[in-house]
Amino acid sequence: MKEFHRISNLFPLMEGAEFEELKQDIAANGLREAIWLHPDGSILDGRNRYRACLEVGIEPHFRTWDEKGSLVTFILSMNLHRRHLTSSQRAVIALETLPFLEKEAKERQGTRTDITEIFPESSGEARHYAAQIAQTNPRYVSDAKKLQRDAPDLLAEVKSGNKTLPQAKREYVKRQRKESPPLPSSKYRVLYADPPWGYSNTWSGGDEGFSDRWTSAQTHYPTMTIAELCDIGPRIKDITEDNAVLFLWVTSPMLEECFEVVNAWGFKYKTSFVWDKVGHNFGHYNSVRHEFLLICTKGSCTPDSDTLIDSVQSIKKSKVHSEKPEEFRTIIDTLYTHGKKLELFARADAEGWETWGNEPS
């Protein structure tokens, strides 16, 4: 029985119904396409045809690769056009291709081992070239690399086709979720919150082309349903003064539902700021470039300052998913100059503020 060349394992083996169909075809029609061998005798391309031949009792026939050009690109070209692989699977293949490409580059260029120098079309990153030849998205290759480092078992499921990369990322995020510490017992006059809204209508994993344009929040952090956010209402009421203010971030798709949370936390909506992000984001009905910061009060809590700040703030968004500009914290500090302040669902500590959430260290 012949061995499989290491590079041929870039592609997952056929299993189940797909492999049964191949066996039936070979049993009925014979082996119509030769199996490619490396000069060392190992199988480069045709592992599934070889396995099928052995199982149905058909004598396989072979041809040997002539060692012209790149072995990696040869293997990819022989498989990509005939395998029904998802973008996620192609990303794993692209990732696993990189060491082979680097080895080939080293052999051709001597001491030059930097693949980004040898392949200028990679736009400065090896993953771009690997993604290009594997016909997938460079961002997916980056996602696959993170899973390779932190959750290789999930990456294996992606490679086999059992999960897409967005699905694997969501599962990894759930694994990382830490229990939130108990809410503090102090009383606060000013609250600032960026809840991890759970979007009921976001992409769920079936259309990978759509996910390239719209990245679900669940792939970045654990989200909460409206009911879960409302459930912490009694605790929020306990830690706020009789006269308090809440600054609450919300996106347009959640605008209607968010008022359930506002009311459950003991506040009433008053007005809002609009963050113009300058750059556009993909939306279901339009190109979205804004987000709302609602101002809600409990009792009477008008600003301490009579400064009138423009309700629309044009600030370019950062590259960090869901990160809010510090300018808005400065606005809050300007309007409310005294009283204890608490940031809910905080991601980092801030001077003059107490924080509550999973992420601050």
End-of-domain residue from the set 139, 172, 205: 172
**22 and 119 inside one domain:** yes
Same domain for 347 and 238: yes
Q: Kindly state whether residues 239 and 91 are assigned to the same domain.
A: no
Report H helices in 30-124: 47-56, 71-80, 87-109, 115-118
Helices 47-56 and 16-29 cross at an angle (nearest 10°) of: 60
My answer on whether 58 and 104 are in the same domain is yes
In a domain, 31, yes or no: yes
Q: What is the pLDDT of residues 67-124, one digit of tens each?
A: 888 888 888 888 887 777 888 998 998 888 888 887 877 776 654 444 444 444 444 3
* 179 domain residue, yes or no: no
Q: Which of 108, 142, 172 is the last residue of a domain?
A: 172
pTM for the whole structure: 0.56
Average pLDDT of the residues in 285-298: 93
Token pair in block for residue 52: 């099928």
**Within a domain: residue 348?**
yes
pLDDT tier for residue 178 given thresholds of 50, 70 and 90: low
For the cut 70, the answer to whether the pLDDT of residue 214 exceeds it is no
Last residue of a domain, one of 172, 201, 218: 172
In a domain, 63, yes or no: yes
* Domain CATH code at residue 335: 3.40.50.150
Q: Which of 177-181, 225-229, 262-266, 314-318 has the lowest mean pLDDT?
A: 177-181
Residue 177 within a domain: no
Q: Residue 212: pLDDT above 50? A: no
Are 81 and 20 within one domain?
yes
- How far separated are the first and last CA of the chain, in Å rounded? 56
Confidence of residue 172 (pLDDT cuts 50, 70, 90): confident
Q: Please, which pLDDT band fits residue 40 given cuts at 50, 70 and 90? A: very high
What is the rounded distance in angstroms from the CA atom of residue 73 to the CA atom of residue 76?
5
Mind spelling out the 3-state secondary structure of the chain? CCCECHHHHHCCCCCHHHHHHHHHHHHHHCCCCCEEECCCCCEEECHHHHHHHHHHCCCCCEEECCCCCCHHHHHHHHHHCCCCCCHHHHHHHHHHHHHHHHHHHHHHHCCCCCHHHHCHHHCCCHHHHHHHHHCCCHHHHHHHHHHHHHCHHHHHHHHHCCCCHHHHHHHHHHHHCCCCCCCCCCCEEEEEECCCECCCCCCCCCCHHHHCCCCCHHHCCCCECHHHHHHCHHHHHHCEEEEEEEEEEECHHHHHHHHHHHHHCCCEEEEEEEEEEEEEECCCCCCEEEEEEEEEEECCCCCCCCCCCCCEEECCCCCCCCCCCCHHHHHHHHHCCCCCEEEECCCCCCCCCEEECCCCC
Same domain, 213 and 274: yes
pLDDT digits (tens, 9 = 90+) for 344-356: 998 888 899 999 9
More confident: 78 or 236 = 236
Pairing of the two strands 43-45 and 35-37:
antiparallel
Domain span at residue 45 reads: 6-172
**Predicted pLDDT of residue 167:** 86
Q: Are residues 161 and 204 in the same domain?
A: no
Same domain, 218 and 70: no
- The answer to whether residue 202 scores a pLDDT higher than 50 is no
Residues 6+ apart with CB under 8 A from 210: 203
- The one-character DSSP state at 224 is B
Residue 306 has pLDDT above 50, yes or no: yes
Predicted pLDDT of residue 124: 39
pLDDT at 198 over 70: yes
The answer to whether residues 142 and 246 belong to one domain is no
Same domain as 198, residue 153: no
Tell me if 290 is assigned to some domain. Answer: yes
Give the model's confidence band at 321: pLDDT under 50 very low, under 70 low, under 90 confident, else very high: low
With CA atoms as reference, report the closest residue to 134 among 284, 297, 296, 11.
11
Is the domain of 156 the same as that of 240?
no
For the chain, the average pLDDT equals: 84
Whether residue 181 is contained in a domain is answered as no
- The predicted pLDDT at position 215 comes to 47
Per the structure, the count of domains in the chain is 2
Are 28 and 101 members of one domain?
Answer: yes
192 belongs to a structural domain: yes
